[in-house]
Structure 1
Amino acid sequence: MRFLCLFMACLSLSWVGHALSPSSFFSTTDKSRLQGVFESALKAGMAEKEDFPLAVLGLTLLGQTVADAKGVCQKMQTAFTGNSLNRLYLISQAGQDLKCGLKAAADVSQTLKSALTSSDSSVANLFYASLTLKALGEKLDAAALVSALQAGLKKDDSVANIGFAFQVASVLEGKAAQALFDRVEDVVVQADEIDGKMLQFEGGVSTTNIILSGIYKMADKFGKAPGISKMQASKFANYFLSRKSVQTCKGGYHLVDALTTLSRNKYHIPVAITLGEQSTVVSETSPKVQVRISNVMGQTLGAMSVKVDSAMRQTDGHTILSKTKMAAVSGQEGVFEVDMMSAKPGRGFYELTVTATPNKADARLAGNEGAVLLVKALGSVEVTQAEIGIVDADQGTAAKLNPVAHPSKSAKVLEADHHHKVVFKFALTDKVSKEKIRAHQVFVRLAHVQTKAEIIFVAEPDSKSVYKFDLDVKSKAKEFGGKSGKYEIQLIVGDAVISNPILWSVADINLKFQEVDGGTEERSAPLTGPKPEITHLFRQPEARPPSAVSNLFTILCLLPFLVMLGLWMKLGVNISAFPFSLSALGFHLGLGSIFGLYYYFWLQLNMFTTVKYLFMVGVVTFLCGNAMLVKIAKDRKH
């Protein structure tokens, strides 16, 4: 039990040691894209649509000037009519931002006030009406409004309604809405967690923003810390940043509003610690890792001291940097760098744990300690110990091979036939550490010099990381299509963490194959070329029997019917007794139709069509036959 408790404690500390920093920020590119979305909505000029005022609000948050502000105000004043509380609210907020001085007509004012006094008003309507009246300069009855909100929440206390209530509480005077602020912690625990990295409320970006911004506004109003931890603030920031590709005015406005709230409040400022655009990979030509420190809107946070707590290779846990201070980059505020290649890292992926400490203490910062960044270190490799030669296929002793130096090509043209084997040995060595390594992709390619036909083999390393390619000419003849001639031997080496992939022409070789099954059919030219066209061969129709057989079969099929007619004539069938009633005619016609249907099924109809018609004809035949039998039975009684 003690061991279990100790294990859980260590696990908790490990999570604490790796802060959940935002993995990105709202970049200049993101701002330009959303600005284009907002400006397009304004150019459309449809002020009665919600996108129009939302575009004004979005541009204002981005710090952009609204073109032709006077004309925009006139359009919104014209659209400031009707009884749609949502539209009236959005126009009033946009008008307030542009200082349009909107005036409400008598019917609009009555609609808004009725929404506040009606006992049937929803929390959403109370929110729209109260904030619209507030924007118009009307004074709100705080006590009555809080009472109406609490009554509405008793009917429907969804997180969306609670968010609306928080927004209303943040603009009311006095302490009447204190009870709503006390519900913050209960609401925050209802947020959905995604992958342990993000928090959101049901309803998406807009609902999550309404709740979150309402919490921070109430915290400012009542002078109390919001019931949100630094970790939760970082998770909310991660959620909004994951949605920064929104394409609508509504989503764009709520996204920018939320990120602005998380960048300017008095309680939590999530810190985005991100890699520079060219710093995800380091190599000999690009040895430095650059890190950017900012808030989620991409704004700098003042003077910082940044250090790399550790740089650990993922594969084996090898640490190359520890407690290393990063230097500020001249001319780029908030950007810091460290020369990672000076520590001579081996090839691989490294986790950099970074901590940013402000020179002037700021308790609001969240996620600035232990941020983990992934950097790929590339290494140069060289081919060493390369040997190539021809040996007898049945040779049991170790072969004597000729050395060949990379990147030179062997001057000697090799000769081999079906009695020989081609042996090629080599090692891949890290240029810095001089250690033998294994690459992810190592191939030996043989290409016919004239036809360019090629065949590729995989080279496998042994326990000492020495690669060996062994080609038995006789056993591989079929793979070459028996095509003798001059081939070029090439070595291909590639890996995600190798900075200098290798394509080395090692030597030329004359191969002489025996005849193989299939003749000397040439292999297709390079594997990447077009393939031969596939020609479909459909099944040939089966031959029909001779006409004599067909005629005989037809006569045999008709013979029972002919026998029946002959027996009727011999016995003397009483045709005059045939009942010429509607049911009798229907039955016999139906029966004949069924036999005719079977005939057509044999000739051309499929099973499904036959069953469909058989069902219709069979129902009529059954009903007529039943009626006919009943009539015959009655006639016999009389």
Structure 2
Amino acid sequence: MKPIILLVLVFSSVYTVSLNTHWNEGDTKRLSKVLENVLQTKKDNIASLHFAASGLKLLNVAPSAENAKAACEVAKKADMTKLDVVYHASALSGDLPDCALSSISEAQKTIEGVLTASSPNGEKIAQALRSADRLGIKVNKPAFDKLLTAAMKDDSPNNLAWVFNAAALLDKPMAAKYFDKIKNLVSQADEVDKRFLQFDGGLSTTSNAIHGIMSLAEQQGKAPAITKDQLLLFTNYLLSRKHVSTEKSAFHLLSALGVLVNNHQLVPVTVSLQGPVMIERSRPVIFNACNVFGLPVSLSGVRVDIVPVGTTTPVIGNLRINQIQGAPQSYFIGPDKLPDTPGFYNVVFRLESEDKRLIGLTGSSIVVKLSDEVQVDDLKIGAIEKDEVITGSSLASVAPFSKHGKIIAADHTKRLYMSFSVKSRATGNLIRPHQVFVLFKHVDGTEVFYTADVQAGGKYLVDVNSLHFIHKLSSQGLLLFWGELESVVVADLSPCLYNFQNLAKAYKDFEGLSGKYTAFLIVGDPIIRTPLNWPFVSELLSFIIYHCVIVICCSAADFTLTLPSIAPEVVPKSQRVNYDALPEIKHMFRQPEKRPPAVVSDAFTFICLSPLLLLLGLWFRIGLNFGNMPGSIWTLFFHGGLAALFALYFVFWLQLNMFDTLKYLALIGGFTYLAGNRVLKAIADKRKMSLTKNLKSLTSVGPRAVVTWDKAERIRRNEEIWANPDSIVHRLPEHYCKRYWDNLLLIYPPEADKGLWGGEGVVKGWKESRPYTKKKVLPRQWIPRLYFPALKKQVLYSEILDKHMEITVTERTLRLIDQNFGLDYYILRTPEIDLASKLGNRLKREMLLTLAMGNYYPGDEERQNYIKQKHVHRITLFHVRIRIAYAEFVIPLEEADWVGLDLNEAARKQQEIEEQRLAEPLKYKLERELVERLRTGTDLITNEEEFAPKIEESKFGERLLGKYLNPVAKRLRR
């Protein structure tokens, strides 16, 4: 367990707040190849070219001339009307040699267009200001300041990072207010494992934020509102991502690291170990103290404390280490200054410098492992009697790293005894290995492991009856043992004694397997540089082991063990594992039932096929409805899908299983469903253009009887007379009866002209004051009342006009439309006086004019093109059907133009026609032509000189001052 704890401490100590890595030459070579490859392969992506070229410039690596020229050509040909393109092109122009842009004016318009854009974010503003700075374009910085202030309403880390980058490009007084907002951005950072600080958005957002914060602090000339530990955590995160492989991430990372080096406020210092964590006592330990780019910093001294891991007391304190000549960033600790005891040590650094910018001078630490070589000494081995006292004469010594060449014999009366000690090769002191055990390996690959405990006096004791062992086959046991033995804890530093006692009781460990065994000694420890794995005897021994002790030294042995056989263990039948081939299972299937006679089968088949035969017969008798089938490719797809479904069912019956059929059915069924949906849509569109749409009743309300006072009263007063068939009233003249039952007088208000009331109007009548009184005794009380029709708005479709219209109608109008099978038939068949509506008469006039002129579907070019290209024949037949269906209503155009006009409109139309037919007087004609010539300046008479107006010069100055003051007169005349 202790090695695991030490390893955890190693890795947890390395990744602390202190910076233990920096950008080295290997990182520069690796990333420069990646960026150079981007310049060569992504020539059509100006953003990638920008990131690659800028990254190479930050690495101080010049791109190849060919790639630089190609990238420059892309920048010169870029579309300067897009802000992001201007941003990338300006960066390429500044980072590549001899790459000046020509279209600066167009780029300036694009940059100034940001001021008029609707709510630009911080990224757009920063790109505009950065592009203007690179191209040397003067911009209205106060306007950008106002725009940047408005953009700060979005306080997300990504937006604030761009805002600070943009503020660093403004004037110093303008950017002061943004400097105070740095703490708002830093407070949004997330801490990870107390090692890193980062923002949501990853490397790009974090790098951009650090670049903006440090750039703004450099402009203001003071340290930002960020603690030194926070900046070290940010820097540690950036350095942990130095193995990036994309050009954009590399550019942002290098930009952030560059601003951490080139500023006058805060410069992080890194301390790293040059070489592996495992150090040797014979070589000096070299450390590097530099900035994040591996460049030396100004240090006046470096002191270290060497503290064992897990403690706080240094074994070497306040040790000043020297600088390596020729390497100003490298310092070393000499071999004589290293601790005497091997182990893990924490090297804590204290850097001294007069540069106030440097941070991370204290607290930096690096964990190192001081390793040592070990040797096995004082190896003794022997086979002694069971009760014999161990003496020097009964044991044989084996030289280190050699083999015992004699045969060791043992039986049930003897035991095997071995002992050894482990010492440091450098100091000769006894050490305590964490892994010391013996491996017995049979010739067939079977392995048995035994570990040891430390006895009083510093010896290891192995009790075969109780000690831990691992028994595996072949070489897998070694790997498993190394994993499990990490939990073994040994107490003191002392000679090791492996004492194998009562081996007769441990024969189960060997599973009664007798024969040749090879014994290995394995010694391992985290601080041992080279672990030991040696055999210690080379001869094969033949003996029966019942009780022995083995003491292991740095040697190896081969044994031939003869062990008592083990009684076979009885394993329950349910737990047995049989790897032999099982006998074949012969299954007797049930005999099939006797099939019915062929007549029954044929009759059943005929009955099943009878619906199909009936369908075919009906099709032959009635015919197929191909006329209403839409002429579309989806119709073929739909019927093809149906055929495919039936074919799939047939194949399922022959060959497929249910799961395969469901998969195919999902594909074919889905396609058939979509095709059927298109077919139904086409049928609906076809019905929409025909009279079949109007076959559906628009209303189900029946006519409402209207009983007025006059009719009801006459019936009630003369009920006995009319009920008597012999009454005289039945012999009255017919004309009298007609007048007696005259229809009621209707009132048509102006609203009736704006809808279709179906002949209904406002009825003036009477209403009984007490309609629910059972007793009917005259005289009754009657009150006048106006009966209004129930009006509602309905969307109606005209097939001739191809229009949907929302019209105010009554229930009677809807019934009349249903009775005439459509709005068009109702309007055309109803006389103008019965329509009793200006709207109805106007619709009738437009329908008759459309039928007369033949322009059924005007103004729909797309529909006309589709009809002409796809269904010319069908639409032509449809036009013919329209003419045939409305043939009884087709009248001459001159007559249709007068339909539906009231008396005033007809009189006005007739007056206009008569006025157009009157001859124009010649006087008016000549007058009109003269005015036209005068307006255009083409009249010959007015252009002649004699008709031109005379202009006389004024004589005022000459008459007033005389001829001697003629110049003054000329001036006055002016």
Matches within 5 A, 1:430-579: 430-431=424-425, 434-447=428-441, 453=445, 455-463=447-455, 464=458, 465=492, 466-470=496-500, 474=504, 475-476=506-507, 479=510, 482-485=513-516, 487-507=517-537, 508-510=539-541, 511-514=560-563, 516=565, 540-545=583-588, 554=591
> Mean Cα displacement is larger for which, 371-380 or 39-48?
39-48
Aligned partner of 2:247 among 246, 249, 253: 249
Distance in 1 of aligned mates of 2:288 and 2:135: 43
Cα RMSD after superposing both structures: 4.0
Q: Which amino acid aligns with 2:416?
A: V
Aligned counterpart, 1:339: 334
Q: Which amino acid aligns with 2:152?
A: L
Aligned partner of 1:216 among 192, 214, 217: 214
Q: Which has the higher contact order (CA 8 A, sep 6+)?
A: 1
Counterpart secondary structure, 1:50: helix
Work out whether 1:138 is the aligned partner of 2:131: no
Q: Aligned in 2, Cα 1:401/1:64: closer, same or farther, shift over 3 Å?
A: same
Distance in 2 of aligned mates of 1:470 and 1:606: 67
Distance in 1 of aligned mates of 2:369 and 2:429: 19
> Mean Cα displacement is larger for which, 377-386 or 534-543?
534-543
Give the TM-score of the pair, scaled to structure 1: 0.74
Q: Give the number of the structure whose residues are more often strand, by fraction.
A: 1
- Asked if the contact 1:268–1:366 (Cα under 8 Å) also holds between the matched residues in 2, the reply is yes
Q: Aligned in 2, Cα 1:472/1:64: closer, same or farther, shift over 3 Å?
A: same
Aligned counterpart, 1:384: 377
Counterpart secondary structure, 2:254: helix
Q: Which amino acid aligns with 1:513?
A: T
Q: Which amino acid aligns with 1:172?
A: L
Aligned counterpart, 1:350: 345
- Asked if the contact 2:223–2:266 (Cα under 8 Å) also holds between the matched residues in 1, the reply is no
- CA-to-aligned-CA distance 1:303-345 (integer Å, 9 cap, x gap): 431111x212225556321111112223322211113554543
Q: Aligned in 2, Cα 1:167/1:535: closer, same or farther, shift over 3 Å?
A: farther
> Mean Cα displacement is larger for which, 113-122 or 312-321?
312-321
Matches within 5 A, 1:186-205: 186-205=184-203
Q: Which amino acid aligns with 1:421?
A: R
- Give the drift of 1:250: 0.9
- CA-to-aligned-CA distance 1:171-209 (integer Å, 9 cap, x gap): 112412322111001111111111112111111222212
Aligned counterpart, 2:694: none
Counterpart secondary structure, 1:312: strand
- Give the drift of 1:433: 5.6
Q: Aligned in 2, Cα 1:580/1:372: closer, same or farther, shift over 3 Å?
A: closer
- Asked if the contact 2:215–2:259 (Cα under 8 Å) also holds between the matched residues in 1, the reply is no
- CA-to-aligned-CA distance 1:123-162 (integer Å, 9 cap, x gap): 32222223222322211212211211222232x3211111
Distance in 2 of aligned mates of 1:427 and 1:374: 30
Aligned counterpart, 1:93: 91
Q: Aligned in 2, Cα 1:90/1:500: closer, same or farther, shift over 3 Å?
A: same
Q: Which amino acid aligns with 1:124?
A: E
Matches within 5 A, 1:36-435: 36-44=33-41, 46=43, 48-68=45-65, 71-72=69-70, 74-98=72-96, 100-104=99-103, 107-154=106-153, 156-278=154-276, 280-286=277-283, 288-308=284-304, 310-315=305-310, 319-339=314-334, 342-358=337-353, 361-392=354-385, 395=387, 401-431=395-425, 434-435=428-429
Counterpart secondary structure, 1:416: coil
- Asked if the contact 2:172–2:219 (Cα under 8 Å) also holds between the matched residues in 1, the reply is no
- CA-to-aligned-CA distance 1:482-526 (integer Å, 9 cap, x gap): 3424x543322122211243244422450241463699xxxxxxx
Give the TM-score of the pair, scaled to structure 2: 0.50
- Asked if the contact 1:408–1:506 (Cα under 8 Å) also holds between the matched residues in 2, the reply is yes
Counterpart secondary structure, 1:256: helix
Distance in 2 of aligned mates of 1:133 and 1:317: 57
- Larger Rg: 1 or 2? 2
Percent identity for Structure 1 against Structure 2 = 27
- Structure 2 unaligned residues grouped into runs of 5+: 1-14, 459-491, 542-559, 569-576, 598-603, 615-651, 665-974
Q: Which amino acid aligns with 2:331?
A: F
Distance in 2 of aligned mates of 1:132 and 1:517: 89
Q: Aligned in 2, Cα 1:177/1:119: closer, same or farther, shift over 3 Å?
A: farther
- CA-to-aligned-CA distance 1:47-66 (integer Å, 9 cap, x gap): 54311121111111111223
Q: Which amino acid aligns with 1:328?
A: Q
- Asked if the contact 1:122–1:152 (Cα under 8 Å) also holds between the matched residues in 2, the reply is yes
Counterpart secondary structure, 1:415: coil
Distance in 1 of aligned mates of 2:211 and 2:424: 54
- Asked if the contact 2:46–2:88 (Cα under 8 Å) also holds between the matched residues in 1, the reply is no
Aligned counterpart, 2:937: none
Aligned counterpart, 2:30: 33
Counterpart secondary structure, 1:437: coil
Distance in 2 of aligned mates of 1:610 and 1:67: 61
- CA-to-aligned-CA distance 1:352-387 (integer Å, 9 cap, x gap): 1111212xx111111121311111011232323433
- Give the drift of 1:476: 3.8
Counterpart secondary structure, 2:562: coil
Counterpart secondary structure, 1:210: helix
Distance in 1 of aligned mates of 2:25 and 2:578: 55
Distance in 2 of aligned mates of 1:206 and 1:544: 70
Q: Aligned in 2, Cα 1:187/1:461: closer, same or farther, shift over 3 Å?
A: same
- Asked if the contact 1:419–1:473 (Cα under 8 Å) also holds between the matched residues in 2, the reply is no
- Give the drift of 1:170: 0.8
Aligned positions, number: 541
Q: Aligned in 2, Cα 1:412/1:85: closer, same or farther, shift over 3 Å?
A: same
Q: Aligned in 2, Cα 1:397/1:81: closer, same or farther, shift over 3 Å?
A: same
Distance in 1 of aligned mates of 2:134 and 2:25: 31
Q: Which amino acid aligns with 1:292?
A: N
Counterpart secondary structure, 1:177: helix
Q: Aligned in 2, Cα 1:491/1:165: closer, same or farther, shift over 3 Å?
A: same
- Give the drift of 1:88: 2.0
- Asked if the contact 2:306–2:345 (Cα under 8 Å) also holds between the matched residues in 1, the reply is yes
- Give the drift of 1:420: 3.8
Distance in 1 of aligned mates of 2:108 and 2:189: 36
Distance in 2 of aligned mates of 1:297 and 1:230: 18
Counterpart secondary structure, 1:175: helix
Distance in 1 of aligned mates of 2:662 and 2:46: 57
Distance in 1 of aligned mates of 2:149 and 2:583: 82
Q: Aligned in 2, Cα 1:490/1:162: closer, same or farther, shift over 3 Å?
A: same
- Asked if the contact 1:73–1:100 (Cα under 8 Å) also holds between the matched residues in 2, the reply is no
Q: Which amino acid aligns with 1:371?
A: S
- Asked if the contact 2:512–2:563 (Cα under 8 Å) also holds between the matched residues in 1, the reply is no
- Asked if the contact 1:124–1:161 (Cα under 8 Å) also holds between the matched residues in 2, the reply is yes
Aligned counterpart, 2:777: none
Aligned partner of 2:17 among 8, 20, 26: 20
